[in-house]
Structure 1
């Protein structure tokens, strides 16, 4: 009897984990869909921002993106606010990605844009499969990720403010490595967690890592052609 109850409990737990992981990736796919809409509307949004904010339009857009990210992180467990916040953040991120892609295409064509998307997909699939197959705990990457993201954030700000193109490429390389490590860490945490109540939070973390990898790869590939 005890054996049967234990088996039923383990089976129920395994099914709950499968449902949780499925929910995380459904959220993530929804974020991709919304970001695509944002990218397609990038020319219109960019023009509107230029007319309102002038030469500071990109900083305004970046501030809105950061604000919606903080909002989405805070309300990730609160329905329906989590859906609203997630849609806002992924849409704004899509707009920024679209603007970066258009700027890159004007100078170097669309080839580096497509390459960046393809490489981001390869990184995502490779690290996801690695986490699923190995079943390892990658939390040991925590300190590396924290330092790497801090360097990425402050380095990107410095490069943008002082127009340091070579330094910007270096920071993009750091960002690709740090966000790849975070993607592996977050996927591992998703597979090992016993808290199944925050699929939106995990999807948000995965989306942010993939977004930063994409933007950084576009900068790297475009920088090689400038």
Structure 2
């Protein structure tokens, strides 16, 4: 019995390490994507013109669904995850360039630091407390639905305060999602989807970073 319990603990620790290894790898690829953003724009914008951003967003969602669908399949999951994080890095790179141009490069470093601090604190809370944060599921869904509806309304109503409120909701909902995913990672009996957990954490962190960037760079009177 003790041997079985020890083996289960070792398997769980190995699984958690694998998830964070995937996540760190995603950050590295996203960093390469962010650095490549100006080159991608120079190469593709002359071909696509005003449809460049739309095409990039479509590729972003396409690679996300691909990575999610093959998260358990090797080696497809590696290629899909790398493709998604690279495209996500390009989008984050464009957002960072726009924010730095408007408010200075310090705003990007501040957003990165706040995102990293948020992730570190929330991860430690979930890992140390070992509390089940499954009860946050309904709150997360509600927050993301509100953010989605608000974003659709924001397309027609160009109200800066509305966009800032949506960004705040996304930060709160995605922070709760990190608690939820980390708790599930520690409790879920299935340890065969490290790539899927890493993908979910990566998306939450990406949304938090972009939303904090928007909040810090909000229009000033």
Give the TM-score range, shorter chain: over 0.9
- Aligned counterpart, 2:119: 124
Task: Give yes or no for the alignment of 1:155 onto 2:155.
Answer: no
1:113/1:218 contact within 8 Å kept:
yes
- Unaligned residue ranges in structure 1 (runs of 5+): 1-5
Q: 1:160 to 1:89 in 2, by over 3 A?
A: farther
Q: 1:115 to 1:197 in 2, by over 3 A?
A: same
C-alpha displacement at 1:23, in angstroms? 0.3
C-alpha displacement at 1:124, in angstroms? 0.3
Moved more, 47-56 or 110-119: 47-56
C-alpha displacement at 1:157, in angstroms? 4.2
- Aligned counterpart, 2:35: 40
- Aligned counterpart, 2:208: 213
2:164/2:214 contact within 8 Å kept:
yes
- Aligned counterpart, 2:217: 222
- Aligned counterpart, 2:25: 30
- Aligned counterpart, 2:58: 63
Moved more, 205-214 or 166-175: 166-175
- Aligned counterpart, 1:184: 179
| CA distance in structure 1 between the partners assigned to 2:69 and 2:87 by the alignment | 17
**TM-score, with length taken from structure 2:** 0.95
Task: Give yes or no for the alignment of 1:15 onto 2:10.
Answer: yes
- Aligned counterpart, 1:80: 75
C-alpha displacement at 1:58, in angstroms? 1.5
| CA distance in structure 2 between the partners assigned to 1:164 and 1:72 by the alignment | 34
Please point out which of 138, 141, 155 is paired with 2:136: 141
C-alpha displacement at 1:47, in angstroms? 2.7
- CA deviations on 1:121-158 (whole Å, 9 max, x unpaired) are 11000000000111111010001111111222343344
**TM-score, with length taken from structure 1:** 0.93
| CA distance in structure 2 between the partners assigned to 1:116 and 1:212 by the alignment | 11
Q: CA RMSD in A?
A: 1.4
- Unaligned residue ranges in structure 2 (runs of 5+): none
Count of matched residue pairs: 221
| CA distance in structure 1 between the partners assigned to 2:197 and 2:144 by the alignment | 17
